[in-house]
A and B are shown apart, each in its own frame.
Chain A
């Protein structure tokens, strides 16, 4: 029988990691300019901080922790939407894990749940089907969050609801896209990022090709990376090699699951149910054009954002003035540069996006850094 350990131990092998660190140091020594790698995805931030990979690298390699955590980037007004929906009579609000912790302007979903709202965190979006069929007299609203990785799951949920005529299931769509966020980071002329680690699970769905424009437009290496420590170290080595050679290419480290084209069946489903939203405000980065999805008009009968439009708040709510998340996300500031870090802003009461979830940069610094 296949042991669990055999699945991951190769990717966490101390000798391999030590050797990769050594090779990175050799390549980095050949580079004249500092290497500022943005790991776009919060999952990578978590790997780097949890496994202490940053401690194994030479001084001229720095990480800039990107905006790729779907919970962190949700602006307060969208969380207020969720809270408002959950507060409607006969509504069950269903959402994914961490989302219920994040405070909106009137509190977190967990707090609304304690006031009597029926809010259910789930792991598998398809569990929402059971909740809807078990509660035919209630309206069940799936508050959908996530990047390209989790969008197909919402698409399949919607497809099933249509197929099985589950009429009491509605959707509030907050799916966002990685490439426009990378563009938003680079749009600031002060941005110091000069290489990207691309999230592999996004590319499992969308293909490696989604990062090609970034390579072409910004002339910097993009390595599509897995999430285990060896994956991330190998990706850093590949970036460092490109930097040493002075080239900028798209490279797939996570070749065990990522192809150039990605999962075409999943892309087809996404295409069928969703279209590009003209504008979406990202917590920390502000409005980014064409950076999110919404339901296509033929599914308006499932769109909670339209059906409850008269009750959903429209006012945009900015983060605290002292919060420097925008600068941190662009690599212009380090979490520790922020005046409120660890004082006014903690994981228990976050003032800005980066402190919100365990995948946010400030949160990861708060928990792990400083040893």
Chain B
């Protein structure tokens, strides 16, 4: 039986459970993802887990599917790996489900699957089970991917509820790149720049922080909702006030430019390889030094402190001394009118 994909586009028959589906799975997915657990092709993967385990899931529907600095495949692996890393867990096993719109180009699918493999190599994770569905034209926007992941906890006690008075708040790099890159790539804004998404695997840097025995109170990657959403969630969950220095927040020129032009706020924009961390003030400088060894974290900065004022709120201080609440972003991101 030939297991080569002959068609240039994915057809409904590729989701039919028969010969074509086998060809799709073998030629595209198994050829990149192969490992003993996946290759066993049982109804469920058998895993040996020990100790406290983190488990997470995420669905990826990004449009456009290919963007400056990554694609939906890289995002689907990095996103779930990062969710595990943020709990202090070493990412181990992933599941992966594809929902493919009829007519999707096979060449694009291969590129996406290859970038998933590359991304997995960075954290030593493996896809051990998966599913493929093909839906009729118009029922999905090209390709949706869901990944779930499990990982072994190496640093216990990281929690949104664990933030302490006096903690320092650090951000791992300049904020807003992924959201800005996606907005620029969308037709409606027709803007060109050198900007790339921050999409990245965070486990290597987290692994080093844990190895250095850095005491982490809370840690979260600032995905949708950006920095503003993470800090607000923390302030409420730990019932603390968070005070941020506006001038300390790193923002690159391209993101700043987009925000100035269209009336967005960088702290509302999504990130896909940027994390926020709360830890004791006295070890903040040491943690910063470790983070800055990594290329994508060279702009890491201490941006604020945890206080007992304005409990449940985030206050941002301007360079001239006035204060305002940093609110949760709401509604869809729309450019201003004038």
Interface residues of A (CB under 8 A from B): 3-5, 8, 12, 14, 17-18, 21, 43, 49-53, 55-56, 70-71, 96-101, 110, 120-124, 127, 145-147, 149-150, 201, 229, 347-348, 367-371
Quote the shortest CB–CB distance from B258 to chain A (angstroms).
10
In the complex, what's the smallest C-beta–C-beta distance from B259 to chain A, in angstroms?
A: 10
Number of interface residues of B (CB under 8 A): 27
Residue of B nearest to A150 (CB): B338
Kindly list the 9 A-B residue pairs having the minimum CB-CB distance in the complex, ordered from nearest.
Answer: A52-B322, A97-B334, A14-B319, A55-B322, A368-B324, A123-B335, A371-B323, A14-B320, A17-B320
Assuming the A-B contacts A5-B253, A52-B324, A371-B325, are A201 and B338 also in contact, with contact meaning beta carbons closer than 8 angstroms in the complex? yes
Determine if A52 and B323 form an interchain contact, defined as CB atoms under 8 angstroms apart. yes
Residue of A with least CB distance to B322: A52
Question: Which of A3, A4, A96, A371 touches B337 (beta carbons < 8 Å)?
Answer: A96
**Interface of B (DSSP majority class):** loop
The A contact surface, by secondary structure, is: helix
Chain B residue contacts of A53, Cβ below 8 A:
322
Q: Is B257 an interface residue (CB 8 A)?
A: yes
Determine whether the beta carbon of A51 is less than 8 Å from that of B322.
Answer: yes
Pull 24 A–B residue pairs with CB atoms less than 8 Å apart, ordered by A: A4-B253, A4-B256, A5-B253, A5-B256, A17-B320, A21-B320, A52-B324, A55-B323, A56-B321, A96-B335, A99-B337, A101-B332, A101-B334, A110-B332, A121-B334, A121-B335, A123-B262, A124-B190, A127-B188, A145-B337, A367-B325, A368-B327, A369-B325, A370-B325
In the complex the two chains form, is B336's CB within 8 Å of A97's CB?
A: yes
Within the complex, what minimum Cβ distance (angstroms) separates A112 from chain B? 14
Looking at the assembled complex, report how far the CB atom of A250 sits from the nearest CB atom of chain B, in whole angstroms: 22
B338 touches A147 (CB 8 A): yes
Give every chain A residue within 8 A of B315 (Cβ-Cβ). Answer: 371
Which residues of the partner chain B approach A110 to less than 8 Å between Cβ atoms? 332
A331 to B319, CA, bound (A): 30
- The contact of A371 among B256, B324, B331, by CB within 8 Å, is B324
Interface residues of B (CB under 8 A from A): 188-190, 253, 256-257, 260, 262, 310, 315, 318-325, 327, 330-332, 334-338
Bound complex: CA A99 to CA B324 (Å) = 26
Which residue from chain A places its CB closest to the CB of B247 in the assembled complex? A14
CB distance from A367 to the nearest CB of B (A): 5
Q: Give the distance in Å from the alpha carbon of A127 to the alpha carbon of B331 in the complex.
A: 23
Partner of A368, one of B190, B262, B325: B325
Across the interface, which residues of B come within 8 angstroms of A99, CB to CB? 337
A98 CB contact (under 8 Å) in B189, B190, B319, B334: B334
Contact A149 B338, CB 8 Å, known A4-B260, A12-B319: yes
Residue of B whose beta carbon sits closest to that of A367: B327
* Chain B contacts for A70, CB-based, 8 A: 337-338
Bound Cα distance A50, B320 (Å): 12
Minimal Cβ-Cβ distance residue in B for A21: B320
Chain A residues near B323 (CB, 8 Å)? 52, 55, 371
**List of B residues within 8 angstroms of A146 by Cβ:** 337-338
A9 to B205, CA, bound (A): 33
Chain A residues positioned under 8 Å from B324 (CB to CB):
49-50, 52, 368-369, 371
